[in-house]
Amino acid sequence: MSEQAKHPSVSEYFGCNVFNDTVMRERLPKDIYKSVMKTKQFGIALESDVADVVANAMKDWAVEKGATHYTHWFQPMTGITAEKHDAFITPAGDGKVILDFSGKELIKGEPDASSFPSGGLRATFEARGYTAWDPTSNAFIKDNTLCIPTAFCSYTGQILDKKTPLLRSMEVVNEQALRILRLFGNTTATRVSTTVGPEQEYFLVDKKTYDQREDLILTGRTLFGAMSPKGQEMEDHYFGNIKQRVSDFMKDLDCELWKLGIYAKTKHNEVAPAQHELAPIFTTSNIAADHNQLTMEMMKKIALKHGLVCLLHEKPFAGVNGSGKHNNWSISSNDGQNLLDPGDTPLHNMQFLTFLCAIIKGVHEYAPLLRLSAASAGNDHRLGANEAPPAVVSIFIGDDLQRVLDALENGTNIKTDQDLEFVIGVDALPNFRKDATDRNRTSPFAFTGNKFEFRMLGSADSISCTNTIMNTIVAQELCEFADKLEQAEDFDKALKELLIQTIKEHKAIIFNGNGYSDEWLEEAARRGLPNLVSTVDALPHYMDPQNIAMFEKFRIYTKEEIASRTDILLENYSKVINIEAMTMLDMTKKKLLPAAMEYGKKICDTAIAKKQLGLDASAETKLAADLDSNTAKMYEAMQALESKVNAAKEIGDVLECAKAYRSQVFSAMGDLRTYADQLEMLVSAEDWPLPPYSDLLFNV
């Protein structure tokens, strides 16, 4: 094989497993291609004869690439993706088969998915949900299967997935943002889209070590484990050299993602040992959400090929940083503007300030929604733990923008670096220095030059919920602005008044200082900003009247759909803690206690033998006593946990049950772990049944 054939260029194979615009242009008759493009751009449904042609072309393309099956790929409320595979085969009557795929099969599927969580929306007897093709996201091939991105709804029209609300939220933000652009005299833009670049953190551990840990296998995190003598204190891992095995994994991963048309761009080591990050180039929210799901799936799959396991849990290890997912968010129009780019003309600055103020107002008014969009049992370990933003939502805008907002609010002038003075107004505004501000890493919601970075999301989360909420909030505020401004006789005057009023009323959400400090939590409380510490504190706010009103106004969710989502998420929380508690009990009974007792006996035997010989057995006696008391305490803690789990399980009310898991079970798990980890430090490595943190963190 020639060198060139061995190393095909990325530009050649990028997107080779995607039925994208280029493939469609090549393979579809011109008029059909045009209808598909219209569907993609304007969401107009495909005629059934057109769908037949598209389906057939898709099938031919997929079969040429070795596909035998197709699946409607969807995103139920489990937070991961689901697929049911159907072969293309149809009996030909002569004992043979032909390969067939109709427009009907492309557009609609019936997974009969009665076992997905629906939060009471769909009784099991009428379980039939259906999946509907989302033509804005390209079909692709994965594992010899043609995957068709789809939305998942019930027959009564209730949404059962994470894609549908995201698509709806993109529509409403489009409508409202266009109203604002028109007010600024823009007649060229016809479509406004939100864009997202999610930075994905993850851990890699050795598969053989992983296989020896029931906790990792069942829960994705270590439920026990004394800290390794070395952690992340040397700060030698962040951006450090990438180990060969990890580098091989990353290369393989990039290659597979590129084939799927995913713009995997940046890769590096993260702060904790064994922790890494992948960031793609941003794209429209819906595609970004699909791509992030695929990225997580590929990470897990490809790790296994390298004898590794990819951990996406938010806190796989106590004592070192956990993993998040930074959701970089912006909004752009199809005439080429990033609406969050401060720009370099006064008019655009004013337009930028309008969008900025809408976001500030929205985040202030709907902070609990953003907080709950990142709420999960796993993420509770991170938020507020001085490695991730606090649970208080605030906005960082940096010094430059702060000066501009101050000047606008106070009607004063500001000085620029060139020592030119500007009066803030519609006519003249200085150019902002782009991205000159120090990147505040402690803020949950930071302006980073021409986009906002939401840093609360957990690594395992789907980004759909956060972006649905983000888009809807912004649509809500833009709508309110547009309603006012469209009535105004003097636009410039009305705009200025509106922005000043918005800054005055909502500047409490802006905080440019250290979000990890205790003083900030006190200050935030004084400002009346909510501090929703845990998942069970945050989730009930889904049902706040103003949130229901907003979602219903923009037809994102009905009240019933929000109620079902709240229940699903709360139940999920209880289930996760329950599984963790049960796993701890199982491991304690079957592994840790026997090991501690066995080792205790060994030490006692040695002590007795030494004493019989008249030797000094003080070390053995002391160790035996330590082992004995810790073992007894571990046993007690185990019993306490068991009774708390049993009590929590009995609670019928979804919220009360989740609260019991949080306040009772979760804390009892902490107690049990304390004694187990102390025992791990006393028992010899040979006799302790679990591989230690040092193996997990440094042995890749």
How many Cβ atoms from other residues are within 10 Å of residue 336's Cβ?
8
How many angstroms separate the CA atoms of 87 and 360, rounded? Answer: 50
Buried b (16+ CB within 10 A) or exposed e, 191-208: ebbbbbbbbbbbbbbbee
Give, as one character, the DSSP assignment of residue 661: I
Burial of residue 608 (number of CB atoms within 10 Å: 0-12, 13-18, 19+): middle
Give, as one character, the DSSP assignment of residue 588: I
- Of 67, 257, 278, 279, which one interacts with ligand ADP (CB under 6 A)? 279
How many angstroms separate the CA atoms of 84 and 145, rounded? Answer: 10
* Residue 436 touching ligand ADP (CB under 6 A): no
Counted residue by residue, the chain has a size of 700
Q: What phi and psi values does residue 174 have, to the nearest 5 degrees? A: -60, -50
Q: Which is nearer to Mg ion, 39 or 194 (CB)?
A: 194
* Residue 388 touching ligand ADP (CB under 6 A): no
Contact set for ligand ADP, span 326-345 (CB under 6 A): 328-330, 338
Q: Which is nearer to ligand ADP, 458 or 600 (CB)?
A: 458
H or E segment to which residue 626 belongs: helix 618-649
Q: Which is nearer to Mg ion, 326 or 662 (CB)?
A: 326
In the complex, residue closest to Mg ion by CB: 326
- Of 259, 291, 326, 451, which one interacts with Mg ion (CB under 5 A)? 326
Minimum distance, C-beta of residue 58 to ligand ADP, in the bound complex (Å): 29
In the complex, residue closest to ligand ADP by CB: 197
How many Cβ atoms from other residues are within 10 Å of residue 494's Cβ?
17
H or E segment to which residue 621 belongs: helix 618-649
- Of 129, 197, 225, 692, which one interacts with ligand ADP (CB under 6 A)? 197
Q: Which is nearer to ligand ADP, 279 or 569 (CB)?
A: 279
- Of 178, 183, 196, 369, which one interacts with ligand ADP (CB under 6 A)? 196
The residue written with tokens 């889209």 in the block is 193
How many Cβ atoms from other residues are within 10 Å of residue 110's Cβ?
12
Which among 322-330, 384-392, 520-528, 529-537 is the span making contact with Mg ion, rule CB under 5 A? 322-330
Q: Which is nearer to ligand ADP, 56 or 450 (CB)?
A: 450
Residue type, 190: T
| Interface with ligand ADP: number of residues (CB under 6 A) | 14
Which among 51-59, 318-326, 418-426, 611-619 is the span making contact with Mg ion, rule CB under 5 A? 318-326
Minimum distance, C-beta of residue 453 to Mg ion, in the bound complex (Å): 5
How many angstroms separate the CA atoms of 359 and 469, rounded? Answer: 12
* Residue 440 touching ligand ADP (CB under 6 A): no
Q: Which does 451 bind (CB under 5 to 8 A by kind): ligand ADP, Mg ion, none?
A: ligand ADP
Minimum distance, C-beta of residue 698 to ligand ADP, in the bound complex (Å): 26
Q: Which does 280 bind (CB under 5 to 8 A by kind): Mg ion, ligand ADP, none?
A: ligand ADP
How many angstroms separate the CA atoms of 74 and 285, rounded? Answer: 16
The pair of structure tokens assigned to 286 is 């819906």
Contact set for ligand ADP, span 446-465 (CB under 6 A): 450-451
Interface mask toward ligand ADP for 280-319; x: CB under 6 A: xxx-------------------------------------
Burial of residue 1 (number of CB atoms within 10 Å: 0-12, 13-18, 19+): exposed
* Residue 195 touching ligand ADP (CB under 6 A): yes
Maximum Cα interatomic distance, the chain, rounded to a whole number of Å: 103
How many angstroms separate the CA atoms of 627 and 618, rounded? Answer: 14
- Please say whether the beta carbons of 494 and 504 come within 8 A: no
* Residue 212 touching ligand ADP (CB under 6 A): no
| Interface with Mg ion: number of residues (CB under 5 A) | 1
Give contact residues for ligand ADP (rule: CB under 6 A): 195-197, 199, 279-282, 328-330, 338, 450-451
| Binding-site ranges for Mg ion (CB under 5 A) | 326
